[in-house]
Structure 1
Amino acid sequence: MDSEPPAAGIDVSKPHPARRYDYWLGGKNNFPADRASADVVAEAFPTIRLAALENRSFLRRAVDYLAEAGVRQFLDIGTGLPTAGNVHEIAQSIAPESRVVYVDNDPIVLLHARELLDSSPEGATAYLDADVRDPADILRKLDESRMLDLDRPVALMLVAIMHFITDDASPYELVRTLCDALPSGSYLVMSHATSDHMSAEELADTNAANQRSGVPFRLRTTEEFARFFTGLDLVSPGVGSVMAWRPGEWRPHPRPEAVAMLGAVARIP
């Protein structure tokens, strides 16, 4: 399906992670630059669409688990374009009073934010235009919005976002700053692309494809991913493939190397 015409002020000549992810999920809010970038990645990693779908399934299961555990506030950074099973839809289906704040820095996501703001009458949703690379700005805008009560637990969602943060941007410090701003009893939910199953040659090919794609990207090993959770209390089963995190009903799973996505949920003490 053809994408909708770009709105004024949106640069569609450069690929954007949110629109590229939308393309992999079968959406229509993407443009030629996004599709070209996505196809370059798919040449090196042909199962990328499967990885995107499994990552989305992990998000749904994590939100379901936290809502059932009593969490009523969610901060979803790197929201991306609306698709089936947004955080507020999952959380409010279990607890209608849930409050969700979405954060992204893509103008086209902002244009579609109305779909993210379709809250239940008992709950609330909001959208903040901010960048994960500037946690101080996120926290300031969050405070100004008064949407979340930071004296009560919050689920910090960093799903498929931190692999766009390269080492020079201090990814571990960014996550720590956000976690430190949340009260005890909050949670960190993360997923991240991994190089665990790649040979040296495959990793070199994938890194070269990512560089050609025009979107900064940093694959991390299980050990590197686990560092994000230092000092936190991991929820069973801990760090592993997104497919293995509380998978629920049995179904034939793809090979972990075909998905190459790590996921984990941890409680902030």
Structure 2
Amino acid sequence: MREIHVIGIGAGDPDQLTLQAVKALKRTDVFFLLDKGEAKADLVRLRRDILDAHLPQGTYRLVEARDPERDRTAGSAAYSPAVDDWRSARADIYERLLAEELGEQESGAFLVWGDPALYDSTLGILEEVRERGNVAFTYDVVPGISSVSALVARHRTGLNRVARPVQITTGRRLAEGFPEGVDDVVVMLDAHQAFLRHAQDETAEDMHIYWGAYIGTPDEILASGPLAKTAPEIARLRAEARERKGWIMDTYLLRRRPKG
């Protein structure tokens, strides 16, 4: 039976690998990498650096495939169908890789940024491949340090406050309004910078932002402060970084002063 390891490799710093992750690397025969194009070649290079740091060269095989493009122009109504189509296209690639590149007695691995359970599609895609029934395999999951954990650590703050809830959401959801019933909100996948809209609200004076991009890598950028004052600076830093690298991965925590 083919065996797959889904390994969380942290937010970018090779030192963030857990001992469990390193042990999983050493049990793997074939590593699968999805190439996202020249603009994001850094992501492939960082994965290679992690492997070279923990495994002797020549002891493993690396197989790369081109990641399918996702329709990022889809509106709100078409967003979920567009994501479903992209995941199915990825499932086609995974299925082919497992069938053609992995022997029945071998183990393979997917190296996942951050933690595989948080805003990552790998587990859902592997389940879709299993349900198709064309290739048999088992898999396990190794948790990793998420960008959320790394963000608050770099800013030397907590994720939640005493007896207060915290919510993790997306920029698309934040654009619809600040979540009800919480004052600490972590935002991921905010391509349209929804924090700028909230920086103009009358409640902005009660909000603080902790922001980070490329967390854990040599390109890491951090900024924090009152939202109304800091949001324009973050927008500038973000635009410059995207222009320089061609892509950006950022996360932030919005913290509101509790009412009452």
TM-score by length of 2: 0.35
Q: Choose between structure 1 and 2 for higher RCO, CA contacts under 8 A separated by at least 6 residues.
A: 2
Bigger strand fraction: 2
